[in-house]
Amino acid sequence: MKSETQRPFIEKVAQDTRDYVQSLFDEMQRLSRVVAELEVEIQTRDERELRLSQRVEAIEAEGRSFATRYAEVEEQNSNLANLYVASYQLHGTRDRDRVVAAIQEIIINLIGSEQLVIWEADGETELRHVGSFGVDAEEWNTITADDGLIGLCLTTRTRFIVNQSPILPAGREKSLTACIPLLLDDHLAGMIAIFELLPQKDGLAPVDYELFDLLASHAASALYCTRRAPVSAGVAQ
């Protein structure tokens, strides 16, 4: 009898337990869905943040590119202005001393060397000093074909630039940076030797090679135009 009277209670407890377990199961499923939704949301947010970060990086890179390009354009404009001024200086006069002084100014201020010599061709096999700066003018008074690298440039009518040549200068030419024949067509009008660069200059820049080209032709024609003028002793310091 006692077990019969307890059956409804036991069944109720069992049902309540099943209901409770079911509610736990339902809650677990609900929480699982919430977690899944949160994971999707987090993934979406992470992807959005990643895209945003990549966009920011792209914008920053684009900004750096524009800044670099702007600096390059500014440098090109400055170089063009320097080349124009240099050309004007060379052709702005037919006075020998002023032409020599203009060549010196280009080398000192634009190329960046305070050690240089300028010669004028005396015939086909000899150079005669017409101007210098920062060197002993007497030591470089005349140059012939036998005088080292400068003599070789005289003979071959070719340019010497120290970082482009397998030959290393020696002796009194030890600090020679460049030797530029001044050619008017195939005629040698003169020669320029550039020795040590200024301490603050690491080496030759692209614009320096353009200045070498300018000097090779424009300085040649400028000197040639002064040949009929009385030859002075040159500008030497």
Tell me the pLDDT tens digit for each residue of 187-201.
Answer: 899 999 999 999 999
Q: Is 119 exposed, middle or buried (0-12, 13-18, 19+ CB in 10 A)?
A: buried
Handedness of CA 45, 50, 52, 53 (dihedral sign): positive
For the chain, the structural domain boundaries read 1-91, 94-236
Q: What is the pTM of this model?
A: 0.65
**Side-chain half-sphere of 74: how many Cα atoms within 13 Å?**
6
3-state secondary structure 137-149: HHHHCEEECCCHH
3-state SS of 123-190 is CCCEEEEEEEECCCHHHHCEEECCCHHHHHHHHHCCCEEHHHCCCCCCHHHCCCCEEEEEEECCEEEE
Q: Please compute the mean of the pLDDT values over residues 165-187 and round it to a whole number.
A: 91
Separation CA 221–CA 183 (nearest Å): 8
Q: Name the amino acid, one letter, at 134.
A: G
Tokens 């002084």 belong to which residue? Answer: 101
Mean pLDDT of the chain: 83
- For domain 94-236, the CATH class is alpha beta
For the cut 80, the answer to whether the pLDDT of residue 131 exceeds it is yes
Looking at mean pLDDT, say which of 58-62, 81-85, 127-131, 204-208 comes out highest: 127-131
Q: Which 3 state secondary structure label does DSSP give 201?
A: coil
Q: Which residue has the higher pLDDT, 11 or 3?
A: 11
**Cα–Cα dist 213/224, whole Å:** 17
Whose structure tokens read 């086909």?
124
- The predicted structure's pLDDT at residue 140: 95
What value does the mean pLDDT take over residues 159-164? 92
Query: How does strand 116-121 pair with strand 126-133?
Result: antiparallel
Q: Which tokens hold the place of 212?
A: 């070498």
Distances (CA, A) of 131 to 27, 46, 228: 99, 72, 17
Q: Quick one: pLDDT band at residue 234, thresholds 50, 70, 90?
A: very low
- Model pLDDT for residues 69-121, shown as the tens digit of each residue: 767 667 666 766 776 777 777 777 778 888 999 999 899 988 999 999 999 99
pLDDT at 141: 94
Rounded Cα distance between 193 and 177, Å, is 8
